[in-house]
Amino acid sequence: MERRLLLVFALTFLVIMLFQPVLKKYLPQPPAKPESSQPAPAQNQAQPPMPTGAANTPPTAKSEKNKPAAPAPQQATNESETVIENGLYRIVFTNRGGRVKSWVLKKYTDDKGGQLELVNATAAEKHGYPLSLWTYDEGLRNTVNSALYVATGTSTTAPAEITFAYSDGDVAVQKSFKFDHSYVVGVRTSVQVKGVEVTAFPMWPAGFGDETIGPQYATGQIAYQYDSKVERLAIKKISGGGTVPGPFHWAGLSDQYFAAVFLPQDPQSSAMVTLHNTIEIPRGGDSKQMDKVDVLGAAVGSLKGATAGRLYVGPKSLPDLESVRVPGITGAEPDLRAIVDFGWLGLIARPLFEWLKWMYYHIVANWGWAILLQTLVINVALLPLRLSQMKSMLKMQRVAPQIKAIQEKYKKYSLRDPKKAEMNQEVSALYKKEGVNPAGGCLPLLIQMPFLFAYYRMLGVAMDLRHAPWLWIRDLSAPDPWHILPIAIIVTMLVMQRMTPQAGMDPTQQKMMNIMMPGMLGVMSWNLAAGLCLYWSAGQLIGIVQQAVMNRTSLGREMREMMEKRARKKEK
């Protein structure tokens, strides 16, 4: 029996081994288990049914474990304010939206003589306060800018730091600001929706408080720089809510004298949203008549999540701008000086301003007298050009009869006739023989005009001339309130035109030009900056003195005699 039993076991084992490939091929196999698991139960052992969805339990449990916990609700119960100030500004924050209600610059005054408020109350009430947040979701934007944040850090004197936090269980916002003794503020903002970071840019949304009349609003622009490339967007080129992709070393908003520009910590991931809205302001102080004006704003931040960087809010004064270092700029000065736009004549305008500033600080201590002194020096330096102009005009007078004879000779030919080319050749040969340069009379004027244009541009951006007084003028950057200087321009030009010999010009035409030109330029200068009118009228007055002296020389007497002779012939 024992032998038979052993034989049965042996045959059974052999059958199992021989049929193993067949069993693997045709019978369902149990799922594989790790080596540390217990041996599989016998094939005929009944298995309990697996609950529906049980196979998904482990992944679900894992995802729940890694999912960030929902932030605890964090919200203030009532509105409060926090004041931060240093020697340059006084900023008032409200915890409603964690934004700025007031930003006063202590060293500057408004048009009424009070401290300058940079927050445009009318525009901010309608379109948003500084350091509120821009999100592409309007509903989210309204939420984060109207919620009551929990504020921490209540120091009123810089250096200081203040933070704002808000959470409603789904939306979580963190905002922090650092202050030192400069115009620069450190900014960090973060907005999460259900634990996911969303794009949210801090912004300066609605112009500046120094803008009170239409022309001041019209000076607003959006500007940005990356390396040596600086772009400036005028009002007509700016769309509300449009996105300008980076990279930026700085980007933001400016008007004639002030700027609010963001300096991203990561220029490569930065972007800017341009804001363009409108408000109504009283026309000429009359609240019954309103004018619609454009208001610009900008929001700058990171497209990759939380935003970190700096914000410069202050004057477009070169010393202040040059003190703000901007690392990473190549091909240009690593600071904010490019915010000041001296225009295409910057190579002349900026040195002129630096020279004017040197005169102010070292010689006269008044911007008006500094302009007069600079005007005197410029006109004395240009005196040789005036003499050259007069000599050229005299030569033109001498050859005028011969030029007229040549023109009469070819008068019968049309402009398309080849004979007209011969006339030009004869005239050119005569000029060459007599040593006459036809452009000699215009060249000195062409050299003087860039100085005038550069002066116009310089006075339009020079922060130092804002509210600078001189005699009856309270502000050299604004129009003359009594229009004395524009009238002086008209009078001095009339006198100058009458005193200056006009080579080759018909006497009747000369009289007409002597009236039309001063009148036209006088109208143009009526509302120009008083500083520019002072430079212009003073230059004309100095030119009159110079012309009077030159007219008494033998050269001047000869020219006047020739002109009088031509006038007598014309009358006959």
Please determine, for residue 27, whether its predicted confidence score (pLDDT) is greater than 50. no
pLDDT for residue 402: 81
DSSP 17: H
Q: What percent of the chain has pLDDT over 70?
A: 79
Which of 116-130, 235-249, 282-296, 332-346 tops mean pLDDT? 116-130
Neighbours of 545 (CB within 10 A): 10
* Better-scored residue on pLDDT, 569 or 228: 228
Tens digit of pLDDT for each residue in 406-429?
878 777 777 777 777 778 888 888
Query: Distance (Å, rounded) from C-alpha 97 to C-alpha 148?
Result: 6
Is 392 within 8 Å of 448 (Cβ atoms)? no
Tens digit of pLDDT for each residue in 232-272?
998 888 988 899 998 999 999 999 999 999 999 999 999 99
Average pLDDT over residues 172-196: 95
Average pLDDT over residues 73-87: 91
Starting from the edge strand earliest in sequence, which strands make up the sheet with 286-302, in order? 132-134, 201-204, 286-302, 270-283, 242-245
Positive or negative CA dihedral for 211, 341, 253, 310?
Answer: negative
Average pLDDT over residues 534-547: 88
Q: Which of 264-268, 333-337, 506-510, 551-555 bottoms out in mean pLDDT, i.e. has the lowest?
A: 506-510
Residue 484 to residues 123, 424, 514, Cα–Cα distance (Å): 35, 48, 21
Residue ranges with strand state E in 135-269? 150-152, 160-167, 171-179, 184-193, 196-197, 201-204, 221-226, 229-233, 242-245, 250-254, 258-264
Tens digit of pLDDT for each residue in 438-449?
665 566 667 677
Band of residue 47 on the pLDDT scale cut at 50, 70, 90? very low
Query: Distance (Å, rounded) from C-alpha 221 to C-alpha 252?
Result: 9
pLDDT for residue 512: 64
Tens digit of pLDDT for each residue in 258-316?
999 999 999 999 999 999 999 999 886 556 788 899 999 999 999 988 999 999 999 99
Residue spans in the chain of domains classed CATH 2.70.98.90: 81-329+337-341
Query: In the predicted model, what is the mean pLDDT of the chain?
Result: 81
Residue 37 tokens read as 């698991």
pTM given for the model: 0.77
Query: Distance (Å, rounded) from C-alpha 53 to C-alpha 115?
Result: 70
Task: Give the Cα-Cα-Cα angle 184, 478, 316 (nearest 5 degrees).
Answer: 15
Is 149 within 8 Å of 121 (Cβ atoms)? no
pLDDT for residue 26: 45
Which residue is associated with the tokens 């409200």? Answer: 94
CATH of domain 81-329+337-341: 2.70.98.90
Query: Distance (Å, rounded) from C-alpha 450 to C-alpha 315?
Result: 27
Q: How many helices (H) and strands (E) does the chain have?
A: 16, 19
Neighbours of 276 (CB within 10 A): 20
Please determine, for residue 62, whether its predicted confidence score (pLDDT) is greater than 50. no
Q: Which of 39-53, 98-112, 184-198, 454-468 bottoms out in mean pLDDT, i.e. has the lowest?
A: 39-53
Tens digit of pLDDT for each residue in 83-95?
999 999 999 999 9
- Please provide the DSSP assignment of 317-385 as one string: -HHHHHTS--TT--SS-SSSGGGS--GGGHHHHHHHHHHHHHHIIIIIS-HHHHHHHHHHHHHHHTHHH
Is 221 within 8 Å of 232 (Cβ atoms)? yes
Q: How many residues belong to the chain? A: 572
Is 173 within 8 Å of 74 (Cβ atoms)? no
Q: What percent of the chain has pLDDT over 90?
A: 45
